[in-house]
Amino acid sequence: MPDHDVIIAGAGPVGMLLGCLLAAHGADVLICERHEDADDRTRAIGVHPPGLAALDDAGVGDAVRAEGLALEGGEVHARGRMLAAVRFGAPRPVLTLPQPRTHALLRERLTRLGSPVATGCRVLAAWQQGDQVRVRIADTAGWQDTTASFLMVADGVRSKLRRMLGVGWHARGRSARYAMVDVPDPAPDAVARLHCEPAGLVESFPLPGGARRWVVRELVEPLDADWFREAVLHRTGMRIEIPAGIRPAEFVAAQHRAQRTVHGRIVLLGDAAHEISPIGGQGMNLGWTDARRLSPLLLDALRRGASDLPGYDRRTARAAADAQRRSAFYMRMGAAATPFEQAGREALIRMLGSAPLRGRAENLVTMAGL
Residues at the site binding ligand FAD, with contacts judged by CB under 6 A: 9-15, 32-35, 39, 43-46, 99, 122-123, 154-156, 160, 180, 251, 270-271, 278, 281-285, 287
| Cα–Cα distances in angstroms (integers) from residue 15 to residues 197, 301, 352, in the given order | 38, 19, 36
| Cα–Cα distances in angstroms (integers) from residue 51 to residues 94, 163, 286, 289, in the given order | 9, 28, 7, 6
- Which residue's CB is nearer to ligand FAD, number 169 or number 251? 251
Query: Terminal CA-to-CA distance of the chain, rounded, Å?
Result: 36
- What's the CA gap between 302 and 6, in Å, rounded? 9
Q: How far is the CB of 244 from ligand FAD (least distance, A)?
A: 23
- Which residue's CB is nearer to ligand FAD, number 6 or number 9? 9
- Which residue's CB is nearer to ligand FAD, number 43 or number 101? 43
- Which residue's CB is nearer to ligand FAD, number 180 or number 267? 180
State which residue has the least CB distance to ligand FAD: 12
- Which residue's CB is nearer to ligand FAD, number 266 or number 346? 266
C-beta of residue 95 within 8 angstroms of C-beta of residue 71 = yes
Q: How far is the CB of 326 from ligand FAD (least distance, A)?
A: 12
Q: How far is the CB of 356 from ligand FAD (least distance, A)?
A: 29
Find the length of the chain.
370
- Which residue's CB is nearer to ligand FAD, number 27 or number 121? 121
Backbone CA torsion sign across 9, 288, 12, 365: positive
Q: At what angle do helices 99-112 and 13-23 cross, to 10 degrees?
A: 20
Q: How far is the CB of 347 from ligand FAD (least distance, A)?
A: 28
Q: How far is the CB of 157 from ligand FAD (least distance, A)?
A: 6
Q: How far is the CB of 354 from ligand FAD (least distance, A)?
A: 27
- Which residue's CB is nearer to ligand FAD, number 295 or number 346? 295
For 249-337, strand residue ranges (E) read 249-253, 256-258, 262-263, 266-268, 274-275
Q: How far is the CB of 133 from ligand FAD (least distance, A)?
A: 14
Q: How far is the CB of 311 from ligand FAD (least distance, A)?
A: 21
C-beta of residue 203 within 8 angstroms of C-beta of residue 189 = no
For 155-238, strand residue ranges (E) read 169-171, 176-184, 191-197, 200-207, 211-217
- Which residue's CB is nearer to ligand FAD, number 54 or number 154? 154
Amino acid at residue number 149: S
Which phi and psi angles does 164 have, rounded to 5°? -60, -35
